[in-house]
Amino acid sequence: MPGPSFFEDIKAYVGFGEADSTLLREFGTKVEGDLIRISDVFYERMLGHPGAMRVFEDLSQVQRLKYTLVEWFRSGLSGPHGEAFYERRLQIGRRHVQIELPQQYMFTAMDVVRLELRALVEQHESADSQRRRALSDAVDRWLDLELAIMLKSYRDHSDALLARKERLAGIGQVAGTIGHELRNPLGVIESSLYLVRRRLGEDDRVSKHLDRIEEQVRSAGDIITDLLDLVRDQAPKRELVELRPLVERCLHELQVPSGVSFEVRVPEGMTVDGDAKLICRAVVNLVKNAFEAMLEHPGVVSVSALATASEIVIEVVDEGPGFEPEILRSAFEPLVTTRSQGVGLGLALVQRVAQRHGGSAEAENRATGGALVRLSLPRRAPAIQRS
């Protein structure tokens, strides 16, 4: 028989139960008019700290985030405090990890919320000391749950990074040796192909088979290059690159599958501060993946880009079957693939390119069908990224 879930275990540990949910729900109806004020206090405190300010792209975010915080209060007070609630909170924690909000600010932020809510408990329950104590305890237990879930998000991220580094280290040891050992015989095969072609002349039947051999040799060489690129720890060679010509040049020789149409919707004049060679490799891998997903699903593959205040975001969209749920969770891990002939390096290399630029990579299934993979690169060069 399976043990309790993480959330149920934490609820039992802090002593949070149905009585607490009931008290919080009743309290929430009383303090609805105070939630916007608490949100204002919260962000006033946040904006007064330079370290916390760094997580905002611009101040226009703050007003939107205030409303988000009000909704967080409402859902936290109203419940129900079950697995669906836990999953929603876990998503918030993952977002904090993604924007690199330092953990120490979570404790300070939760203290601000705790003090404000305790003051409201005192205000609204001043006549009933027993209920006041019970409600104050319920608020504390609820916020302890919130903090535990947030910390789990950071721990999960840390564990995943450690596992990834260990995996990359193992791949690196193998790649360095195998790459050297395989390049020599592949070079011999290429030289021999050249000589055989000269001897056989224009025999179409033989040329077809030689073309297939050459294609497979090139594919093997690409796998070796991807392996080595995946484990290299070098800063990107940055330059100001115009994105549309780069994308068109990189994708020019790709073979588009039958039944698939392909379009580039990158605005003219958009530039990115990055390593043109690495960005090219990442975009090629994304489009190759999209083509392979569309082999049995005719439709459109598109490459587009948009600019935010801080990032250039490249998106590759296809109309294939999308990612299987168990694959989506680990899509960017090395050697993860569902294709019988795939190696599982394409998306891992895309994420590596993003990390080396100080950016990020994300994948999702579209509501209308197909997959979307997003490569986000800073508009301005951050400090050198190594991992």
Listing DSSP states for 192-244 in one string gives HHHHHHHHHTT-HHHHHHHHHHHHHHHHHHHHHHHHHHHH-------EEEEHH
- What does the pLDDT look like over 287-301, one tens digit per residue? 988 888 888 888 889
For 76-110, give one letter per residue: b (16+ CB within 10 A) or e: bbebebeeebbeebbeebeebbeeebeeeebeebe
Using the Cα atoms of residue 128, residue 130, residue 132 and residue 134 in order, give the sign of their dihedral. negative
Q: What is the pLDDT of residue 169?
A: 61
Query: Strand pairing partners for 272?
Result: 241
What are the C-alpha distances in Å from 199 to residues 192, 194, 203, 208, 214?
A: 11, 9, 10, 15, 16
Question: pTM (2 decimals)?
Answer: 0.51
For residues 362 and 373, what is the distance between their CA atoms, to the nearest angstrom? 6
Regions of the chain where pLDDT drops below 50: 1, 340, 342-343, 383-387
Q: What is the pLDDT of residue 25?
A: 93
Task: Judge whether 327 and 336 are in contact, CB under 8 Å.
Answer: yes
Encoded amino acid at 174, one letter: V
Which strand (E) or helix (H) includes residue 375? Answer: strand 371-378
Listing DSSP states for 136-154 in one string gives HHHHHHHHHHHHHHHHHHH
Q: What is the pLDDT of residue 166?
A: 64
- The three-state secondary structure class of 376 is strand
Q: What is the pLDDT of residue 387?
A: 46
Domains of the chain, each with CATH number or no CATH: 6-162 (1.10.490.10), 164-231 (1.10.287), 239-378 (3.30.565.10)
What are the C-alpha distances in Å from 356 to residues 118, 139, 141, 359?
A: 45, 43, 41, 7
